[in-house]
Amino acid sequence: MKTILAAYPGVLKGTGSSILSALQDVPAVFWPRRSKMKKHLQVISVLQWVLTFLALGAASTLLLVYMFCTELWLIAAIYTAWLIVDWNTPKQGGRRSSWVRSWTVWTYFRDYFPIRLIKTHDLLPSRNYILGYHPHGIFCFGAFCNFSTEATGFSKKFPGIKPSLATLAGNFRLPVLRDYLMFGGICPVNKNSIDYLLSRNGTGNAVVIVVGGAAESLQCAPGKNTVTLKNRKGFVRLALQKGADLVPVYSFGENDVYKQVIFEEGSYWRALQKRLQKILGFAPCLFHGCGLFFGNSWGIVPYCKPIATIVGEPITVPKIEDPCVEVVDLYHAMYIKSLQCLFEKYKTRFGMKEDDVLYIQ
């Protein structure tokens, strides 16, 4: 300290402002660098979401059961009673919170990768939409950041449109986690929930469905452009039944944030993954990112890879209560063509080569 004061004699006899000015001139080695602190906050913001997805539901369930065996049993009983009364809320539009969607933590989450939302066409508030999101990746970081938070400015880019990201219905059976998800506008990916949003909730609703689901997550790897879509026609049939326009969405970079061990078709481990997928509803992937403290080590923190989410042109869909197979196939083919065109148009802008192809399986 004496060395510092000797180097800045004005500090000893100056005013408060001169002290502040002198301290600002002190070499940066004495102070934590702002950029480093910002990076730490970004890592924490992403890590909390990963841990929330992996462990919050199970941890909350165990805690609730444990509380029944303690003096806090009354609190556990009251919460359980409320949980039973509130059981159908996720299927009826949920409990969206603009405050939670606008938390500052999501801006750090966005900037870690970073994540961008790119609008190509307007979405009209007088219509309802089903947005097909591709690819799934491991944790759908792009889908969550763009459609369950306001970090990338969805409401400003698409005024009058209310997005609802659809995810596994099983998540909404777990205490605390269900509420956390609903605050972000996340809903169960089941017929009742989507039917409510598209039929009994007015217009201006956009349900975001990760079409490839768990099966697609087993295929994701850096530099791989494969989507599971060829036999996924349920979302098209639903769009026709509700008269909701179809919108293809592709996220460049979603597959790059983790490295995954992909087992060959027909192998024992692949069969085990598919078996567990049917039982659990999600695919147990063997993946890794970087370490929390050392960037060159393995861990669950995703790699800092840019994610650019492109919202494509809406496909106008008529309302047909009982669409025939031929009509469903027609609009499914139109959707695939639109998604491929979207990929081809933007691939070179986001780090891909001219000869890269989107594989539909």
Residue 150 scores a pLDDT above 80:
yes
For position 160, what pLDDT does the model report? 96
The C-alpha atoms of residue 312 and residue 158 are separated, in whole angstroms, by: 13
Is 319 part of any domain? yes
8 Å CB contact between 359 and 271: no
What is the mean pLDDT of the segment spanning 334-344?
Answer: 97
| pLDDT, tens digit (0-9, with 9 covering 90-100), for 173-199 | 999 999 999 999 999 998 889 999 998
For residue 130, the one-letter residue type is I
Is 358 part of any domain? no
Kindly report the CA angle at 226 between 53 and 245, in degrees rounded to 5? 75
Indicate the pLDDT class of residue 358, thresholds 50, 70 and 90: very high
Is 285 part of any domain? yes
DSSP 308-326: EEEE---B-----SS--HH
Indicate the pLDDT class of residue 309, thresholds 50, 70 and 90: very high
Cis peptide before 135 (omega within 30 of 0): yes
Count Cα neighbours of 209 within 13 Å in the Cβ-side half-sphere: 28
DSSP 260-285: E-PPPTTSHHHHHHHHHHHHHSS---
Write out the residue range of the structural domain in which residue 286 sits.
34-351
Residues in contact with 267: Cβ distance below 8 Å, sequence separation at least 6, in sequence order? none
25 versus 274: which is more confidently predicted? 274
Is 3 part of any domain? no
Is 63 part of any domain? yes
User: 61, exposed or middle or buried, with CB in 10 Å at 0-12, 13-18, 19+?
Assistant: middle
| pLDDT, tens digit (0-9, with 9 covering 90-100), for 125-146 | 999 999 999 999 999 999 999 9
For position 6, what pLDDT does the model report? 46
Residue 25 scores a pLDDT above 90:
no
| pLDDT, tens digit (0-9, with 9 covering 90-100), for 155-171 | 999 999 999 999 989 89
- Tell me which residue of 19, 208, 48 sits closest to 130, measured CA to CA: 208
Is 15 part of any domain? no
Is 360 part of any domain? no
Residue 82 scores a pLDDT above 90:
yes
Residue 12 scores a pLDDT above 50:
no
Block residue for tokens 């750090």: 108
Is 24 part of any domain? no
The C-alpha atoms of residue 336 and residue 360 are separated, in whole angstroms, by: 8
| Mean model confidence pLDDT for the chain | 88
- Tell me which residue of 101, 146, 110, 102 sits closest to 38, measured CA to CA: 110
What is the mean pLDDT of the segment spanning 92-121?
Answer: 96
Residue 292 scores a pLDDT above 80:
no
Residue 44 scores a pLDDT above 90:
yes
Structurally, the chain folds into a number of domains equal to 1
Model pTM score: 0.86
- Count other Cβ atoms within 10 Å, centred on residue 131: 29
